[in-house]
Amino acid sequence: MLTNPTQEAVSPTDSTSPLPPQKLPSTRVVSGFGLLLLAALALVTLTNPWWLDDLWRSGSAGSSGVTTVQLSMSGFRPKAIDVKAGTEVRLRLVNAEEGYEHELAIDELGLDYMVQPGSEQVISFTPTTPGSYTFYCEACCGGKGNPSMRGKLTVSA
Binding positions for Cu ion, rule: CB under 5 A: 102, 137, 140, 149
| Chain-centre distance for alpha carbon 147 | 28
Residue 139 CB, shortest distance to Cu ion, in Å, is: 5
Looking at the Cβ atoms of 71 and 155, the one nearer to Cu ion is: 71
Query: CA-CA distance, 144 to 107, in Å (whole number)?
Result: 11
Looking at the Cβ atoms of 89 and 140, the one nearer to Cu ion is: 140
Q: Which residues have a Cβ under 8 Å from the Cβ of 19 and sit 6 or more positions away?
A: none
| Chain-centre distance for alpha carbon 32 | 31
Query: CA-CA distance, 67 to 122, in Å (whole number)?
Result: 9
Residue 76 CB, shortest distance to Cu ion, in Å, is: 8
Residue 111 CB, shortest distance to Cu ion, in Å, is: 15
Looking at the Cβ atoms of 84 and 106, the one nearer to Cu ion is: 106
Query: CA-CA distance, 64 to 92, in Å (whole number)?
Result: 11
Q: Which residues have a Cβ under 8 Å from the Cβ of 80 and sit 6 or more positions away?
A: 151, 152, 154
Query: CA-CA distance, 47 to 122, in Å (whole number)?
Result: 25
Looking at the Cβ atoms of 111 and 140, the one nearer to Cu ion is: 140
Residue 131 CB, shortest distance to Cu ion, in Å, is: 24
